[in-house]
A and B are shown apart, each in its own frame.
Chain A
């Protein structure tokens, strides 16, 4: 993996169902993985910043896991609600000493009431 890739590109989920999506990133020289939620007409909001292999973070009904050896992270949403409708972006940061986050193209999640 040379770039940050997210799948699926878009997702429709029934309200109340749980869902998950994937972020793949370069595993070499990994430093940190960010997740952001971006609601329409708002600014991207940070969900998690993860650095340790095997780390799992949770914020309410949303959680994320990180595998730095194989270069992937999963974002899980339990019991989806309409307010979860948003684009979810992940971004990786390498430890080459640079400060730029490399973003994926996002997963657009729509919750169907």
Chain B
């Protein structure tokens, strides 16, 4: 039973560029959430997808967008990269019900913006 997989594991981009991160949820899970963890911080909620729609969004600018596909996999896109976007991006999958079901995380994508 494959867990949550994320790709790529590491990425280096230049300011102003665009990036796409990918996530495949744990088998049987229908909900994908994305989190950003900057150095010294806890994971910060970016958004959550269910049934190919964004259900909830955190305090992130519109430069951060996402998508969920019919097979429940998801992408996180970040446009016009800033130095401050350098962080570990975590994808987590879960079941939409019950709402207190635990998250299953991937190993993350380490994004460095230079």
- Quick one: CB contact mask for A72-100 with B, threshold 8 Å, 1 for yes? 00000000000000000101010000111
- Quick one: CB contact mask for B92-112 with A, threshold 8 Å, 1 for yes? 000000011111111110000
Q: Is the interface of B mostly helix, strand, loop or mixed?
A: loop
Q: A42-B107, A99-B48 are in contact. Are A32 and B100 (CB under 8 A)?
A: yes
Q: A43-B106, A43-B108, A100-B56 are in contact. Are A49 and B45 (CB under 8 A)?
A: no
Residue contact B41 to A105, C-beta cutoff 8 Å: yes
In the bound complex, how far is the Cα of B43 from the Cα of A58, in angstroms?
25
In the bound complex, how far is the Cα of B45 from the Cα of A100, in angstroms?
6
User: In the complex, what residues of A have CB within 8 A of residue B56's CB?
Assistant: 98-100
Residue contact B48 to A93, C-beta cutoff 8 Å: no
Q: Does A101 contact B (CB under 8 A)?
A: yes
Residue contact B99 to A99, C-beta cutoff 8 Å: yes
Q: A4-B42, A44-B90, A106-B42 are in contact. Are A101 and B103 (CB under 8 A)?
A: yes
B: number of interface residues (CB 8 Å): 26
User: In the complex, what residues of B have CB within 8 A of residue A98's CB?
Assistant: 56
Q: A100-B58, A105-B41 are in contact. Are A46 and B100 (CB under 8 A)?
A: no
Closest chain A residue, CB of each to CB of B4: A43
In the bound complex, how far is the Cα of B6 from the Cα of A42, in angstroms?
12
Closest chain A residue, CB of each to CB of B92: A44
From the candidates B33, B42, B58, name the one contacting A104 in the complex (CB within 8 A).
B42
Known: A43-B3, A49-B100, A91-B42. 11 other contacts (CB 8 A): A31-B99, A32-B99, A34-B103, A36-B103, A44-B43, A44-B105, A99-B56, A100-B56, A101-B103, A103-B43, A103-B44
Give the interface of A toward B (CB within 8 A).
4, 31-32, 34, 36, 41-46, 49, 51, 89, 91, 93, 98-106
Give the interface of B toward A (CB within 8 A).
3-4, 31, 33, 35, 40-45, 48, 55-56, 58, 90, 99-108
15 of the cross-chain contacts (CB-CB < 8 Å) are: A31-B99, A31-B100, A34-B103, A43-B4, A43-B90, A44-B90, A46-B103, A49-B102, A51-B100, A91-B42, A100-B56, A101-B33, A101-B103, A103-B43, A105-B42
